[in-house]
Structure 1
Amino acid sequence: MAADPAKAPPRWRWALEFLALPQIQAAPLRRPVVVPPFGQGRPVIVIPGLLSNDRSTALLRNSLSKAGFVVEGWEQGLNTGARPAQIARLEARMCDLAARTGEPVVLIGWSLGGLFARVLAQRHPGACRLVVTLGSPFSGDRRANNAWRVYEALNDHTVDAPPFPEDPGVKPPVRTIAVWSKRDGIVAARCAAGEAGQADRLVEVPYKHFELASARGAVAAVLRILREEL
């Protein structure tokens, strides 16, 4: 029987996610995915997921740099949850990067990082050109994933009551792309794809959750999306 796309993925699929950990750890050493440059110096911030840091997104960021973008990580160590101070620093950096480059920023958020991207784009649509979420649980049941217990163990709030007033399920007033996968072992497919009106475009990819910013094919898919959208 096929898994319910609105419920947390089965535990066996969750276990398979850990096969991707070696490629995530080796990300800074891996050869970038190279495409003809098209970034034209546009600014990008890549935000990692829960219990991830900028090391985990190094392959994606290096590939974006090779494609001609001005790329920054989130530069705050391990992402352990929605901490107001961290979100405020990320917000300030996005606005500063937009001011320095004279261009609105592309926000790419992996998993939890995508929720932060959607919130920041709601707050500052003038400073954000595009939001791309990678397996981010912005829609539906906040517990339809295999990470919510870890999240609540690390934070002083529940997944249903994050410390910001914005609803990540509301589409930001900028172009918003939701990348999702039926093979995701962490986040329910429907939560990452959303309902009608929650994103401008849905892109299905054949990768596990931990591969969405670390597999070469997934990185190539992000580059294709940006080439099409920008």
Structure 2
Amino acid sequence: MALFRRKPPSHPAPSSAPSSAPMPAPGLPLMALELRAPWEFGAVLPAWPVLQRAPLGDGHTVIVFPGLTAGDATTAPLRRYLDSRNYETLGWGQGLNLGPREGVLENAKRQVHEASEASGGKVSLVGWSLGGIYARELAKEMPECVRCVITLGTPFAGPHTSTNAWRIYQFASGRDIERETEHYNLPEAPPVPTTSIFSRTDGVVAWRGSIQTPAAHNPHTENIEVVASHFGIGLNPSAWWAVADRLGQPLAEPGTWRPFERPRLPGLGLVFPDPHR
């Protein structure tokens, strides 16, 4: 199986392609702010009563993919929260995510197919960082099985040098990232509702590399900004609220998708920066 679906040679480069503008990786000050990740998770407890006011789900299956060099243990808190909102959550079940080594994408594709068949409906895919690349590309390969895609700090719209993790990726996966991605259209959105949750204070991924450009073939794309670190975005209460809100949309009928609205509950408006500022 190819790593991702190949881009046809004649496919025009999208406006968010890496060559469109310089996109440097986050500098040392933002990298230093990654140390706040444990405090983000610590904020879950005081935020729990508010988090329980997020929309309840319809019971469909959600698969959560971890970031680079991480495993299911890192996504367990998010999955437990989604369980409490009436979802059937699954980890990816492949140990540490060391990149798309032999068999990884095949196993992930099989998991999505089997989960869809077992539930009798489409499944939602949530991916943290590199896991979001998997989620997006799997949805492109098998949209008949995928309900929606949500990514957390995922660098799909910038060059590999717009992250501070590309050398780790090459070491862990054993692959040349530049050669691997030049033939694939990673900025292209899947043909299902797709949400990118990002932070301007991400110390690993340049935030512009997580911005989804509206596409004519899929108007159901959006970007949600939160205040989070890269290592903490999957443990951040505001990101959890956004994930639950997006999963809770009734998407069974055409025209039912709606873009994210900043919550009006006390305090929550402050953790979702004004996108028009």
TM-score range, shorter chain: 0.7 to 0.9
Select which of 56, 74, 87 maps to 1:56: 74
Equivalences for 1:141-156 in 2 at 5 Å? Answer: 141-156=159-174
2:93 counterpart SS class: coil
Q: 1:83 deviation in Å?
A: 1.6
Matched, 1:8 2:9: no
Matched with 2:227 is: 206
- The worse-fitting range, judged by mean Cα deviation, of 32-41 and 204-213 is 32-41
Matched with 2:245 is: 224
Amino acid in structure 2 at the alignment position of 1:75: G
Amino acid in structure 1 at the alignment position of 2:35: F
**Per the alignment, do residues 229 and 206 of structure 1 end up closer, same or farther by CA in structure 2, a change over 3 Å counting?**
farther
Amino acid in structure 2 at the alignment position of 1:149: R
- Give the Cα–Cα distance (whole angstroms) in 1 for the partners of residues 41 and 117 of structure 2: 32
- Give the Cα–Cα distance (whole angstroms) in 1 for the partners of residues 71 and 25 of structure 2: 24
User: Would you say the 8 A contact 2:212–2:222 is kept in 1?
Assistant: no
2:234 counterpart SS class: coil
Select which of 133, 137, 141 maps to 1:119: 137
Amino acid in structure 2 at the alignment position of 1:221: A
Alignment size in residue pairs: 224
Matched with 2:124 is: 106
Larger Rg: 2
Where do 5+ consecutive residues of structure 1 fail to align? none
Q: Which runs of 4+ in 1 moved over 6 A?
A: 22-25
Q: 1:227 deviation in Å?
A: 2.5
- Give the Cα–Cα distance (whole angstroms) in 1 for the partners of residues 147 and 140 of structure 2: 12
Matched with 1:95 is: 113
- The worse-fitting range, judged by mean Cα deviation, of 158-167 and 93-102 is 158-167
Matched with 2:94 is: 76
- The worse-fitting range, judged by mean Cα deviation, of 125-134 and 153-162 is 153-162
User: Would you say the 8 A contact 2:189–2:212 is kept in 1?
Assistant: no
Give deviations 1:57-85, integer Å, cap 9, x for gaps: 11110011110011001111111112241
- The worse-fitting range, judged by mean Cα deviation, of 32-41 and 63-72 is 32-41
1:78 counterpart SS class: coil
Matched, 1:176 2:194: yes
Q: 1:52 deviation in Å?
A: 1.0
Matched with 1:18 is: 35
2:32 counterpart SS class: helix
- Give the Cα–Cα distance (whole angstroms) in 1 for the partners of residues 106 and 250 of structure 2: 28
Over the residues paired in the alignment, what is the CA RMSD in angstroms?
Answer: 2.7
Where do 5+ consecutive residues of structure 2 fail to align? 1-20, 252-277
- Give the Cα–Cα distance (whole angstroms) in 1 for the partners of residues 111 and 206 of structure 2: 31
Amino acid in structure 2 at the alignment position of 1:20: A
Matched, 1:139 2:157: yes
- Give the Cα–Cα distance (whole angstroms) in 1 for the partners of residues 227 and 161 of structure 2: 23
- The worse-fitting range, judged by mean Cα deviation, of 190-199 and 107-116 is 190-199
Q: 1:12 deviation in Å?
A: 2.1
User: Would you say the 8 A contact 1:143–1:159 is kept in 2?
Assistant: no
- Give the Cα–Cα distance (whole angstroms) in 2 for the partners of residues 164 and 124 of structure 1: 22
Q: Provide the TM-score with structure 1 as the length reference.
A: 0.87
- The worse-fitting range, judged by mean Cα deviation, of 109-118 and 167-176 is 167-176
Q: 1:24 deviation in Å?
A: 6.5
- Give the Cα–Cα distance (whole angstroms) in 2 for the partners of residues 133 and 108 of structure 1: 6
